Amino acid sequence: MNDDKTTHFGYQTVGEADKAERVRGVFDSVATRYDLMNDLMSLGVHRLWKRFAMQLTGVRAGQRVLDLASGTGDLAVRLAGLVGPAGLVVMSDINAAMLAQGRDRMLDDGRVGNVRYAQLDAEALPFPAGSFDCVTIGFGLRNVTHKERALAEMHRVLRAGGRALVLEFSHPTAAPLKAAYDLYSFQVLPRLGRLVANDEASYRYLAESIRMHPDQETLKGMMEAAGFERCDVHNLTGGVVAVHRGFRL
């Protein structure tokens, strides 16, 4: 009897170990064009989403922050500016190619003294309990196989009074927007990926992974189950994107 556990990779059902390899392949493929595609896909609006998320962090000078699924460093570079020279940002990703892109960006931006880099799995963080004032993850949770484990780990490594923020694609709240969003996601986005990044399949996976991600209330419930308190949800662009925030009290 085959006891291998399965999960979803977009709309496909795959083995859990196979999903990790496939996700790695997606981001190996898109790493060098990732920032350009973000600008094209969102018409630059992703910068406003990230700015809003930073406002919710409450991060102050001298604090310690863990940024999971850092990718090319959009959140990490902002966080490094907030914590200042006396603080620390740990920029992390499971994917080496993405982390290398982010590290190059940090060096180009002059962020050296207050940034560290770690290739790690969000489901098993190699840090002691209570290590950070804030944990962030931007557009990465949907790619995690066991989201509940990642959320529990985020809670564990926070100090008392710390907070976690999940910035992620979500579910539009209005029916007309949902119809337009589906058309864009499944017709326009893969073609854009083919033309700009020469990779239609990865961007089709992106659209499918968004649809498979828990909706706003479900994810809020998952955060509460992981131990977070005072959880709130902030819908952006009609729920196309949402910021979930929770505190360790």
Q: DSSP readout, the chain?
A: -----EEEETTEEEEHHHHHHHHHHHHHHHGGGHHHHHHHHHTTTHHHHHHHHHHHH---TT-EEEEES-TT-HHHHHHHHHH-TTSEEEEEES-HHHHHHHHHHHHHTT--TTEEEEE--TTS--S-TT-EEEEEEES-GGG-S-HHHHHHHHHHTEEEEEEEEEEEE---SSHHHHHHHHHIIIIIHHHHHHHHHS-HHHHHHHHHHHHHS--HHHHHHHHHHTT-EEEEEEEEGGGTEEEEEEE--
Domain containing residue 100: 6-172+206-247
In a domain, 110, yes or no: yes
Of 162, 142, 116, 149, the C-alpha closest to 223 is 149
Contacts 24+ apart (CB under 8 A), 3-7: 7/145
In a domain, 185, yes or no: no
- pLDDT on residue 197: 80
Q: Report how many domains make up the chain.
A: 1
pTM: 0.91
- Cβ atoms 141, 216 nearer than 8 A: no
In a domain, 131, yes or no: yes
CATH number of 10's domain: 3.40.50.150
In a domain, 85, yes or no: yes
- Helices 147-156 and 216-225 meet at what angle, rounded to 10? 50
- pLDDT on residue 105: 87
- pLDDT on residue 198: 85
- pLDDT on residue 11: 85
Q: CA 26, CA 139: separation in Å to the nearest integer?
A: 14
CA 233 to chain centre: 16
In a domain, 196, yes or no: no
- Cβ atoms 190, 200 nearer than 8 A: yes
One pLDDT digit (tens) per residue for the chain, 249 residues: 344 689 988 889 889 878 878 887 888 888 888 888 888 889 899 999 999 999 999 999 999 999 999 999 999 999 999 999 999 999 999 999 999 999 998 888 887 789 999 999 999 999 999 999 999 999 999 999 999 999 999 999 999 999 999 999 999 999 889 999 999 999 998 998 898 888 898 889 988 999 999 999 999 999 999 999 999 999 999 999 999 999 999
In a domain, 26, yes or no: yes
Tokens representing 113 are 């003294």
In a domain, 19, yes or no: yes
- pLDDT on residue 163: 98
Q: CA 64, CA 226: separation in Å to the nearest integer?
A: 21
In a domain, 200, yes or no: no
Q: CA 78, CA 93: separation in Å to the nearest integer?
A: 17
- pLDDT on residue 4: 64
Of 134, 166, 187, the C-alpha closest to 232 is 166
